[in-house]
């Protein structure tokens, strides 16, 4: 019998729970499951639901739940040491953007949307950094699958001395729609079309919501039954199919797509044979790449004519569209001048560069600036309403 891998889920909101649902329902998955979180009652109830859904579908699973708070790094290290997971799936963040959006007016959201993804980096990094500190204390060779802005966070953490990270989502979320759009344009079955895409979060986000790239750099090779047919493809005609013929709902309804990308990565990490998947932030590389992956092997899958340095250059250029100018070898991130000025003028927050260990202080400052921004707009909304009643 194939040995069972131990997987621990940390961060068990909508994404974590959706990923567990999908993973448990796959008969090929051979895991011992542990869910760790602050609210033991809540994670127990939700993980039991996942296990019972899998049982209903003929794949009975058992799940173990443990109380853990990432803000207590020593206790987190003790819990991880006791569980000895082979893989940790982390979907933690200090602030959920979906939760924020649900509570704000459309006008406030439009004003906030001027800030690019990179500006909110501290909110995504802080808890992942604490997790990696705890894992380092255990000396365990645990692989971390990070769902929080891995295009940038993973290379930052590698530079700061933390390894064994891979990301999910972002570039991976685009691949099914991209293959479908190209197949539609080429009048071919989707199963005959494969791609090798190199692009960071800024590209994948723009592509997913509008069917274009917004000028963000990328490198794409298209194959039909293994033959390179890139020259036969008109990307300007094919990409818009993503938001027409293959349009999908946004917001929380799209979470299962991200969960499926997590399952694809977890499947590959547990496979005896190489599987090609797209993923962000693997091997400490910035942005997103196709990888050849298995239990024993992880390597970038480069198409003919493209070097790894050229692929990295594409991703680094693409990240500037997220407001990320560069990431130093020691993990320090630098934001673009344009983004620094925009954040200062819009939110009163100013930070040109940030080291990993500064992330929590930056996150708390950013949250304070955000709260004041929302209060200012709420006050203005009240004044406008009062004027309208006069």
Mean pLDDT of successive 10-residue segments in the chain (390 residues)? 85 96 88 96 97 95 96 98 97 76 67 80 97 97 96 98 93 97 98 98 94 96 98 97 94 92 94 95 95 94 97 98 97 97 93 98 94 76 44
The confidence score (pLDDT) of residue 373 equals: 86
The CA distance from 4 to 122, in Å, is 35
Nearest to 316, CA basis, from 190, 223, 202, 226: 202
Taking the CA atoms of residue 297, residue 298, residue 302 and residue 306 in that order, the dihedral angle to the nearest 10 degrees is -120
Q: What is the pLDDT of residue 30?
A: 81
pLDDT of amino acid 318: 98
Question: Angle at the Cα of 163 (from 162 to 165), degrees rounded to 5?
Answer: 115
Q: What is the pLDDT of residue 98?
A: 61
Residues 6+ away with beta carbon under 8 Å from 339: 115, 116, 118, 119, 323
Q: What is the DSSP string of 93-106?
A: -SS-HHHHHHTS-H
Give the start-to-end residue ranges of the domains of the chain: 5-168
Local structure of residue 72 (DSSP, 8 states):
S
Distance CA(107)–CA(8), nearest Å, equals 40
Q: In terms of CATH, what superfamily is 5-168?
A: NAD(P)-binding Rossmann-like Domain (3.40.50.720)
pLDDT score, position 116: 84
Q: Is the dihedral of CA 343, 348, 352, 353 positive or negative?
A: negative
How deeply is 2 buried, as exposed, middle or buried, from its count of CB atoms within 10 A (0-12, 13-18, 19+)?
exposed
Q: What is the pTM of this model?
A: 0.93
The CA–CA distances, whole Å, from 7 to 4, 76, 105 equal 9, 15, 39
Task: Give one DSSP letter per residue of 184-240, joined into a string.
Answer: HHHT--GGGEEEEEEB-HHHHHHHHHHSS-TT---EEEEEETTEE-GGG--HHHHGG
Residue 23 CA: distances (Å) to CA of 86, 161, 196 = 16, 31, 25
- For helices 121-138 and 150-159, give the axis angle rounded to 10 degrees: 50
- The contacts of residue 190 (CB under 8 Å, 6+ apart) are 179, 180, 183
Here the tokens at position 286 are 């910035």
- Of the chain, the end-to-end C-alpha distance in Å amounts to 77
Q: What is the pLDDT of residue 385?
A: 42
**What per-residue confidence (pLDDT) applies to 2?**
65
pLDDT of residue 65: 98
Check if the beta carbon of residue 59 is closer than 8 Å to that of residue 27: yes
Cβ atoms of 382 and 359 within 8 Å: the answer is no
The CA radius of gyration of the chain, in Å to the nearest whole number, is: 21
Query: What is the C-alpha to C-alpha distance for residues 385 and 236, in angstroms, rounded to an integer?
Result: 44
Q: What backbone torsions phi and psi does residue 212 show, to the nearest 5 degrees?
A: -145, 180
């Amino acid at each position: 019998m194939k040995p069972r891998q131990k997987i621990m889920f940390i961060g068990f909101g909508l994404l974590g729970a959706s990923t567990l649902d999908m993973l448990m329902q796959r008969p090929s998955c051979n895991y011992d499951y542990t869910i760790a979180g602050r609210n033991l009652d809540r994670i127990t109830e939700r993980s039991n639901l996942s296990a019972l859904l899998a049982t209903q579908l003929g794949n009975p699973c058992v799940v173990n739940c443990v109380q853990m708070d990432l803000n207590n790094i020593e206790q987190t290290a003790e819990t991880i040491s006791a569980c000895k997971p082979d893989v940790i799936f982390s979907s933690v963040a200090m602030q959920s953007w979906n939760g924020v959006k649900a509570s704000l007016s459309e006008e406030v959201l439009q004003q906030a949307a001027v800030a690019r993804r990179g500006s909110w980096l501290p909110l995504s990094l802080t808890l992942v950094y604490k997790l990696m500190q705890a894992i380092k204390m255990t000396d365990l060779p645990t692989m971390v699958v990070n769902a929080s802005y891995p295009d940038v966070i993973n290379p930052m953490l590698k530079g700061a001395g933390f390894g064994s990270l891979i990301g999910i989502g972002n570039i991976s979320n685009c691949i099914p729609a991209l293959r479908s759009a190209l197949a539609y344009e080429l009048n071919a079955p989707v199963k005959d079309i494969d791609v090798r895409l190199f692009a960071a979060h800024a590209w994948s986000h723009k592509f997913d919501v509008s069917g274009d790239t917004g000028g963000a750099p990328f490198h794409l090779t298209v194959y039909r039954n293994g033959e390179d047919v890139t020259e036969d493809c008109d990307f300007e005609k094919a990409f818009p199919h993503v938001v027409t013929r293959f349009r999908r709902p946004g917001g929380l309804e799209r979470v299962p797509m991200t969960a499926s990308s997590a399952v694809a990565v977890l499947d590959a990490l547990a496979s005896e044979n190489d599987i090609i998947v797209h993923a962000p932030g693997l091997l400490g590389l910035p942005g997103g790449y196709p990888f050849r992956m298995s239990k024993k092997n992880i390597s970038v899958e480069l198409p003919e004519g493209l070097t790894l340095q050229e692929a990295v250059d594409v991703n680094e250029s693409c990240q500037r569209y997220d407001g990320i100018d560069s990431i130093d070898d020691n993990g320090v991130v630098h934001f673009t001048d344009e983004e620094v000025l925009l954040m200062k003028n819009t939110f009163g927050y100013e930070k040109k560069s940030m080291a990993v260990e500064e992330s929590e202080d930056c996150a708390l400052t950013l949250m304070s600036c955000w709260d004041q921004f929302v209060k200012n707009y709420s006050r203005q909304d009240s004044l406008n309403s009062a004027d309208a009643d006069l």
